[in-house]
């Protein structure tokens, strides 16, 4: 799915939400849709270990922290493992845009974090030599390493 298509999807999810008369606890929060769109605007930013700004580059937790700080004013802990303790545990079948998704990529739980966008897609800063990108969490690599998700209220 292209970056433009993903941005349109996230915007449509937000537009559909605002058109509802009644909402439930499972409805995506419009602020989280905005957060997802903001995250997409940083796609292509290079990876840098320990990086936490678009100018220096991002590692996974630096990217997530930057997005939450600049879109919601929310300060998160520095590492993926520490971030995994924030917010409420969310079942995979209830994921909404803006939820945090965690993976075991370094042979330890919660060693990688990304932001769920919807439709099985998440955005993250993957590693050395790469840049912030959107991927499908149903790909075998991610499916085998999935550790869970957390929802932070805006």
Greatest CA separation for the chain: 46
Here the tokens at position 101 are 């998704």
Neighbours of 28 (CB within 10 A): 20
Taking alpha carbons only, the member of 134, 48, 62, 146 closest to residue 97 is: 134
Q: Which of 12, 60, 70, 107 is catalytic?
A: 60
Does residue 16 have an active-site annotation? no
**Nearby residues of 115 by Cβ (< 8 Å), 6 or more positions away:** 35, 36, 39, 64, 67, 98, 99, 100, 101, 122, 123, 124
Is 12 among the catalytic positions?
Answer: no
Q: Is 60 a catalytic residue?
A: yes
Do residues 71 and 38 make contact, with C-beta atoms less than 8 angstroms apart? Answer: yes
Active-site residue among 12, 16, 70, 124?
124
103: Cβ contacts below 8 Å, ≥ 6 apart: 111, 112, 113, 114, 142, 145, 146, 147
Catalytic residues: 60, 112, 124
């Amino acid at each position: 799915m292209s970056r433009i298509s993903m941005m349109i999807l996230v915007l449509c999810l937000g537009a559909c939400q605002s058109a509802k008369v009644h909402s439930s606890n499972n409805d995506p929060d419009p602020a989280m849709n905005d957060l997802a769109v903001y995250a997409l605007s940083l796609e292509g930013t290079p990876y840098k270990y320990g990086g936490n700004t678009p100018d220096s580059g991002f590692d996974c937790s630096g990217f997530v922290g930057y997005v939450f700080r600049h879109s919601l004013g929310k300060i998160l802990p520095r590492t993926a493992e520490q971030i995994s303790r924030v917010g409420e545990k969310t079942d995979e079948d209830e994921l909404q845009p803006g939820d945090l998704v965690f993976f075991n990529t370094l042979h330890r739980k919660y060693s990688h974090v990304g932001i769920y966008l919807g439709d099985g897609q998440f955005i993250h800063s993957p590693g050395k030599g790469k840049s912030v990108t959107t991927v499908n969490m149903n790909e075998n690599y991610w499916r085998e390493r999935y550790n869970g998700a957390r929802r932070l209220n805006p």
